[in-house]
Amino acid sequence: MNFDHGLGFILGALLGAGVILLFFSRRARQREAELRLALEVEAKRADLELKERQAEGELNLRRMEAELDARGRELGHEGDLLTVRSAKLDELERKLEIEQASLDEAEHEAKKIQRLYRLKLHQISQMDRAEARQYLIRTTERECAEELSDLRRQKLGRTETEISDEARRILLAAMQRITGQPMNDATATIVALPSEEMKGRIIGREGRNIRTFEHATGTTLMIDETPDSVLISCFDPVRREVARIALEALVRDGRIHPSSIEEEVQRAEQEMQAGVIDLGESALRKLRLHDVHPEVVGLLGKLHYRLSNNQNTLSHSVEVANLCALIASEIGLDPVIAKRAGLFHDIGKAVNEDYSGSHAIVGADVIKQHGEDPRVVNATAAHHNEVPAESPYAGLVMVADALSAVRPGARASSIDGFIERVRTIEEIAKSLHGVLEAYAIQAGREVRVIVEPEQVSDEEARQIARKIRNRIEQEMHYPGTIEITVIRERRFTETAV
């Protein structure tokens, strides 16, 4: 019993010692793991701090490099400034040396003049009073004559330059304030048809419909192989427009016979009359003009259907009126009178064949009959130099008319007309004695003429240019101006071998 009890005690003690040993062993391993973990954390922290310090060092290094670069650039800029200042100082030194040399030369000249005047004074002192007086007068007259001549040239030259600059300024200011109107295309009046069968109905039985239409409208219908269209031809654009309105109405209605043709033409004429009145009144409203006779208003509206070198005549007249008013305001004339003169200057182009004469004379007669101001009447009649100008408004209309005609995009001509104009210019130049070659350039706005230097002198070359100008002005009609350049030169060539 005691033996069993002692054995149990020993076993219990061993078991307790084993448990304690196991506990301490586990505790040791746990402490070792915690220590190892703490070491790893500390190593990571140290490594992180090291990386942060390296990054901060690199950042500081880059910052210092940037500051050094900026400082280097500043030093380079300061060096450039110093170089520029040094160059300026050198330039100033050179200028000072030049000025010093000029002063030395002026001093030398002054001493020479002083000696010369002393000599003259010595000569004068040996003269009597009358001789000295005459000598002084002659010297003064010679010096004053030269100074007066120089002063006269300066004053006249400056005056002409100022006048030219002022005129150029006024014209440019007036042109810039005018909005350029686009060029109208000159095209034939074509009426579209819904089908080819409509052509037969327009012609009618034995051509009765087309004869009635042409007689009623004063136009010619050209029915060819062009599909689904008819061409209206007439020299009068107003009649052509009436015919277009009437024919389109007949095509829409579908019933085409002599009586309906006459009715539609009558209706189209009434519509056309109302339309031209509206166009004329619109132009007057645009220009803020009033007290214009109704017949003159209708003539203004008809100008809308007329083209001059593809430029709409009514738009051209409105533009000329605005230019006249602007230039008149600049030079102190009545802008309202100028505006009326510019608007009515081409109104004769809308008058029918009952009047004879040029459009300028006819237009002046028409507006004179309706009580227009005499200055406006004269400006209208004189804008092509057919009658003498009686007021500045005539010259004003000439200038504005030319400006409106020659501005870029205002007018255009067909290729056939352009070729014919160029050929005519060259033929006129080549027809004169002594002309070797002639070339029209810059779209016919300039002609260059080469003459034989052995046959033509400088003065004769000048006469040739004048003769060409006179013949072009008398024999040709053209927009704008044409510059004539006569070239007379002699060349000597040798070849060394």
Write the pLDDT tens digit of every residue in 249-277: 888 888 888 888 888 888 888 888 888 88
- Of the candidate ranges 10-24, 163-177, 276-290, the one whose mean pLDDT is the lowest: 163-177
Q: Are residues 318 and 366 in the same domain?
A: yes
379-438 confidence digits (pLDDT tens): 888 888 888 888 888 888 888 888 777 655 444 455 566 677 888 888 888 888 888 889
CATH number of the domain to which 237 belongs: 3.30.1370.10
Asked whether residue 296 falls in the same domain as residue 396, the answer is: yes
Please indicate, yes or no, whether residues 216 and 332 belong to a single structural domain of this protein.
Answer: no
Q: What is the CATH number of the domain that holds 337?
A: 1.10.3210.10
Q: Is the pLDDT of residue 185 over 50?
A: no
Q: Which domain holds residue 236?
A: 189-266
Examine the pLDDT at 160 and tell me if it is beyond 80: no
Give CA–CA dist 460/488, Å, rounded: 10
Question: 267 near 318, Cβ under 8 Å?
Answer: no
Residues 305 and 253 in one domain: no
Residues 259 and 284 in one domain: no
In angstroms, the CA 464 to CA 485 distance is: 10
Residue 7, pLDDT above cutoff 80: no
Question: Do residues 314 and 423 share a domain?
Answer: no
- How many separate domains does the chain show? 3
- CB proximity list for 391: less than 8 A, separation 6 or greater: 375, 378, 379
What pLDDT band is residue 181 in, cutting at 50, 70 and 90?
very low
- Please give the single-letter amino acid code of residue 62: R
pLDDT at 207 over 60: yes
- Residue 315 confidence (pLDDT) above 50: yes
Quick check: is 260 in a domain? Answer: yes
Q: What is the pLDDT of residue 310?
A: 63
pLDDT at 308 over 50: yes
Region 9-19: mean pLDDT is 77
Q: Judge if 248 and 349 occupy the same domain.
A: no
138 part of a folded domain: no
pTM, 2 dp:
0.47
Q: What is the pLDDT of residue 186?
A: 44
What pLDDT does 179 receive?
43
- Say if residue 424 is in the same domain as residue 355: no
pLDDT for 176: 47
Residue scoring higher pLDDT (47 or 157): 47
* pLDDT band (50, 70, 90) for residue 375: very high
Kindly state the average pLDDT of the residues 64-92.
87
Judge whether residue 11 has pLDDT over 80.
no
Instruction: Please check whether residue 93 lies inside any domain of the structure.
Output: no
Q: Which amino acid type is present at position 188?
A: A
Check whether 472 has a pLDDT greater than 60: yes
CA distances 402 to 304, 349, 395, 406, 478, Å, are 19, 17, 11, 6, 11
> Is the pLDDT assigned to residue 337 strictly greater than 50?
yes
Q: Are residues 384 and 450 in the same domain?
A: no
147-175 burial, b at 16+ Cβ within 10 Å, e below that, comes to eeeeeeeeeeeeeeeeeeeeeeebbeebb
Read off the CATH number of the domain in which 470 is found.
3.30.300.30
Lowest-confidence range among 224-228, 319-323, 340-344? 224-228
Question: Does residue 161 fall inside a structural domain?
Answer: no
| Position 182 pLDDT exceeds 50 | no
Question: What's the mean pLDDT in 136-147?
Answer: 74
Per-residue model confidence (pLDDT) at position 155: 64
pLDDT in tens, 49-75: 888 888 888 888 888 888 888 888 888
Q: 113 lies in a domain?
A: no
Quick one: what percent of the chain has pLDDT higher than 70?
82
Residue 338 lies in a domain: yes
Percent of the chain at pLDDT exceeding 90: 1
Most confident of 215-224, 234-243, 286-295, 347-356: 286-295
Task: Between 128 and 474, name the one with better pLDDT.
Answer: 474
Looking at the predicted structure, is the pLDDT value of residue 8 above 80?
Answer: no
Domain end point (choices 358, 379, 406)? 406
Rounded mean pLDDT of the chain?
A: 80
Split at pLDDT 50, 70, 90, the class of 174 is: low
Q: Based on the fold, state whether residues 297 and 381 are members of the same structural domain.
A: yes
Task: Count CB-CB contacts under 10 A for residue 41.
Answer: 10
> pLDDT-based confidence at 300, cuts 50/70/90?
confident
How many Å apart are CA 13 and CA 155, to the nearest integer? Answer: 141
How is residue 90 written in tokens? 């050198």
Asked if residue 70 belongs to a domain, the reply is no
Give 425 or 118, the one with higher predicted confidence: 425
When pLDDT is cut at 50, 70 and 90, the band that residue 171 belongs to is: low
The pLDDT value recorded for residue 407 is: 57
Is the domain of 390 the same as that of 458?
Answer: no
Q: Would 400 be classed as within a structural domain?
A: yes
Among 373, 406, 439, the domain boundary falls at: 406
